[in-house]
Structure 1
Amino acid sequence: MLLLVSLALHASLASGLLTTPGLSARALVGTSPTRLPHPRRAQPAMQLVLPAEGFEGAVSAGAKKAANSASKIFALGIMSGAHIGFGAFLMLSVGGCSPALAAANPGLQKIVLGAFGLPFGLMMTLVTGAELFTGNTALVTAALIEGKVKASELVKSWAASYAGNFVGSLALASLVFAGGTLATAASPVATATLKTSLSFKQAFVRGILCNWLVCMGVYMASMAKDLPGKMVAIWFPISAFVALSLEHSVANMFIIPLGIMSGAAVTWKAFLLKNLIPVTLGNIVGGAGAVAAAYSYAYGKLGK
């Protein structure tokens, strides 16, 4: 293909010279052939913005999210809940259904869990503009700190996206259970049981650490100008939090209900009180504190 393009280019150049007034074919075969000017090469645009500019972009994104109506945020939240649920579904289907690997090499099994699943769920959310509560704890909070949104708009964004995420996650969990596509129910059952066996403190701290990584993925992806850059920014932090056994509230909205439907000895009350509430609180601290406030101090109003 490159050879054909090169031949065509040379042919067109030669044709243009031969048809140019005042330039004969004999002039082209002299002892000192004229060097043709090389076409100017287009300079590639920067694919990543500078950190300070990136913070401004994240603030702008948070302000745009907060400006949406509650009904639109809710609808986009349903989509994002399903996106994250699909990621968790793949995670349970691949890494979660590898008991022999988990027994022989638990570290490798955790890497498999992280690499296959949740990164592509967040990728679908960010590329399509869906609303993810955990990401909004950073972006919309940054916009609030910088004076771009009101506190009421932040509450609207958080509440509507959280409710939408919950509905989307439960809907997908119901569909997955009805479809019976998991090779075994052992994976969601064991995962739901483990997640609801944590103490409040453990779940809370794991929620902080988890959303610190998730929001860094969202934050860095907002700085990338092309799809491959966004994919790289998302993939590593998200796969890391899964491999590190951290807790993500929206992913748990899918995983634990699916485990309950599959026969886990977990009540809905235990799901809410022992996991979802402490993890959600931890996610808020991780996104709003470790990302939004931290980078506002570095590049925004808090540092001034």
Structure 2
Amino acid sequence: MSYVPPAEFVVKMIDAGEAKVFMSTRDTIIRAYMAGAILALAAAFAITISVQTGQPLAGAILFPVGFCLLYLMGFDLLTGVFTLVPLALLDKRPGVTLSGVMRNWTLVFVGNFAGAFTVAVMMAIIFTFAFTVEPNIVGQKIGTIGEGRTVGYADHGAAGMLTLFIRGVLCNWMVSTGVVAAMMSKSVPGKVIGMWMPIMLFFYMGFEHSIVNMFLFPSGLMLGGNFSVSDYLIWNEIPTVIGNLVGGLAFVGLTLYATHARTAPRRSPEYDGVAAPAE
């Protein structure tokens, strides 16, 4: 059967986390760069569809194509390694240390940002004919998104920051569910279906994804968005990264690990008033 039961795919999660800790710097950067670039292209694709059709749901339905492609090719997003890599440390895999986990997260962050920024520059060139004309309608929309999801949060002060953080948590709850869902099947169609559903949900609901934002906000700045780099970092990227970490690790990685890899002892029948079988 193509379905992999939880007790088995949780072991795959731990194995994947361990493998990422020991991956070479070169391979980690390359895989993270390509993941950031592909996800950025998918975001540009989805926004273009939403603007041209006037149907945000259409963009959300098709956005997961990028996520599915990058994971089928073995590339890494920060949101995924937030969930998988700490499990190898928690499981006490030989040689896995906290510094190794932090090294992986740092390299993946750098690679994701570089890939997403590369696509941001390319798309800004396309939207403006190499910065010789005003942004087209899609470019204008990206600039508006950047404003609403930075200064828009700042306008609400602490309440805006909490909202941003919770959106980051909910985002990686869904994205990491998609990462894990790919391990539930041995077939490509099964993996794609498993990934598609939670990714579509997060995108349509407007949750905050740190790597998607690595594309949206640099693009918005290049396309005339009325916000600053500090607005982007303080009122989006940094809280989003923290929220993504909490959401993926707490609600996906640790819960699955606790109940399937470190399952609690079974209750004795006698606790329910049923006599234990005679020896």
Q: Smaller-chain TM-score range?
A: 0.7 to 0.9
Q: Which residue of 2 aligns with 1:158?
A: 105
- SS where residue 138 of structure 2 aligns? coil
1:121 pairs with 60, 66, 70, which one? Answer: 66
Contact 1:249 1:279 in 2 (8 A): yes
CA distance in 1, matches of 2:2, 2:97: 32
| Distance (whole Å) between structure 2 residues aligned to residue 77 and residue 142 of structure 1 | 19
**The residue matched to 2:13 in structure 1 has which SS?**
helix
Choose from 111, 120, 145 the match for 1:191: 145
Equivalent position of 2:41 in the other structure? 86
Displacement of 1:302: 7.4
Offset of residue 244 of structure 1:
1.0
Q: Hey, what does 1:222 align to over in structure 2?
A: 183
Is the counterpart of residue 72 in structure 1 residue 27 in structure 2?
A: yes
Larger-gyration structure (1/2): 1
Q: Once the 2 structures are TM-superposed, how far is the Cα of residue 254 of structure 1 from its aligned partner?
A: 0.2
Shift in Å at residue 235 of structure 1? Answer: 0.7
1:288 and 2:249 aligned = yes
Percentage of pairs with the same residue: 30
Tell me how far 1:241 sits from its aligned partner: 0.5
1:194-234 Cα distance to aligned partner (Å, 9 max, x none): 11122221111100000000000000102211111111011
> d(CA) in 1 for partners of 2:51 and 2:238?
24
Residue type of the alignment partner of 2:140? A
Is the CA contact 1:57–1:223 (under 8 Å) kept in the aligned structure 2? no
Question: CA separation in 1, counterparts of 2:45 and 2:17?
Answer: 29
The answer to whether residue 212 in structure 2 is matched with residue 260 in structure 1 is: no
Deviates more, 1:87-96 or 1:204-213: 87-96
Which segment drifts farther, 220-229 or 246-255? Answer: 220-229
2:4–2:183 contact (8 Å) kept in structure 1: no
What RMSD in Å do the two structures reach over aligned CA positions?
1.5
Residues 20 and 85, structure 2, Cα contact 8 Å, conserved in 1: yes
- Asked if 1 retains the 8 angstrom alpha-carbon contact of 2:51 and 2:138, the reply is no
Q: Alpha-carbon deviations, 1:165-195, whole Å to 9, x = none?
A: 0111111100111122865322101111111
Indicate conservation of the 8 Å contact 2:124/2:139, yes or no: no
Any gaps of 5 or more consecutive residues in structure 1? 1-45, 102-108
